[in-house]
Amino acid sequence: MRAARARRLVAALAAATLLLAGSAVAVERYTVLPGGDGEVLTLLLLGSDEGPPRSTDITAGRADGFQILFVSGDRQHATFVSVPRDSWVSVAGSGNGRINNCLLGGGERCMATVEQVFGIEVDGYLATSMDAFKSAVDAFGGVTIDVAVPVSHGGADITTTGVQELTGSQTLTYGRDRKTRAGGDFTRSRSQAEILATAHQAVVADPAPDRILDTVSILRRHTVTDLTGPQLARLGFEALRLPPENVQRVLAEGVDAWVGRAAVVKLRDSAYATIKDAADDAQVG
């Protein structure tokens, strides 16, 4: 009896040692349970400017990064709709203004604004700050981007073109710059979606379980969200189902305009139609 116990103990210790040595099998396929409810998932992904001067409170700032992510019920398709931060809309609870003002009332107010302006349901939001964004990208290991033209903004310049791995600071520059590239705010919005889609590609390309949970942890620690920890974990694994080639990136189209002395963007009718279309099945067109 004692010998049997000893054998079991040795076997258990051996197994534990193997695990500690990191030799656990890297499993490439996960089944997420229970299956999806078939409904499109709609999330707001917001980047706060933290207000001038930097208030260290992300909901004291404006949402200069403004993406609406639609994911189909079967998690096989997704669309990022990039909304220019200067889009002139009716902000929930505060009248007409730039859409980025909604974050001054918290992520929930941004959800209410989007629901009211575009007539869609929003399931949740994630908001981050500039410092947290940089920190998150660095924790993620950088982001690989094909840079078309050199970009500069606030010091962390990207001086070369072509495919390259950007640091957190450079990625923030890539997502913020609206002056050194043509297209201004529209180009910036597109770049933000490009960064997010690229991060998704990286997760799918390296689906080791700890890598997924690392990403979930990064999201949790670097964002303010109304999603629960288990919901984020589920989304992390559901992201593996989504083929990167099925991720669309579209821009909510608009035209530059003035309201008094404020430079704004007036969204075209096509922008409203695009968002309604994406809300239907997470695909545009």
Partner 1 sequence: MLASVSIAGAAFAILGIAIGLTSDDEGPPPVADVSATPTASAEPPPRPVVEPEPEPEPEPVSAVLGEVVVEDLSATSTGLYGSGHPGDGAVPTDQPAVDAFRDAIVAAVDAHLLDQQQGGDGTLATDAALPLADADRPVGTATIALRIGVRGTPEWARANVDVTLLDGATEHTELVFAPGEPPQVLAVSR
Binding residues (CB under 8 A) for partner 1: these are 8, 11-12, 15-16, 18-20, 24-25, 27, 29-35, 54-58, 128-136, 209-210, 213, 216-217, 220-224, 228-230, 232-234, 237
Q: How far is the CB of 6 from partner 1 (least distance, A)?
A: 12
Closest by CA to 87, choosing from 77, 102, 72, is: 102
Q: How far is the CB of 35 from partner 1 (least distance, A)?
A: 7
Minimum CB distance to partner 1 smaller for 98 or for 222 = 222
Closest by CA to 115, choosing from 91, 95, 96, 94, is: 91
Minimum CB distance to partner 1 smaller for 135 or for 180 = 135
Minimum CB distance to partner 1 smaller for 209 or for 244 = 209
Closest by CA to 278, choosing from 69, 39, 38, is: 69
Q: Give Rg (Cα) of the chain.
A: 21
Q: How far is the CB of 142 from partner 1 (least distance, A)?
A: 16
The Cα 49–Cα 100 span in angstroms is 10
Q: How far is the CB of 204 from partner 1 (least distance, A)?
A: 15
Minimum CB distance to partner 1 smaller for 89 or for 239 = 239
Three-class HEC string of 196-215: HHHHHHHHHHCCCHHHHHHH
Closest by CA to 66, choosing from 81, 51, 88, is: 81
**Distance set, CA 35 to CA 21, 38, 229, 232, 280 (Å):** 33, 8, 18, 15, 19
Minimum CB distance to partner 1 smaller for 166 or for 284 = 166
The Cα 138–Cα 201 span in angstroms is 16
Q: How far is the CB of 129 from partner 1 (least distance, A)?
A: 6
Minimum CB distance to partner 1 smaller for 165 or for 210 = 210
- DSSP classification of residue 246: G
Minimum CB distance to partner 1 smaller for 24 or for 263 = 24
Q: How far is the CB of 127 from partner 1 (least distance, A)?
A: 9
**Distance set, CA 124 to CA 92, 228, 251, 274 (Å):** 16, 10, 20, 20
The Cα 285–Cα 151 span in angstroms is 32
Closest by CA to 275, choosing from 99, 83, 140, is: 83
Q: How far is the CB of 50 from partner 1 (least distance, A)?
A: 9
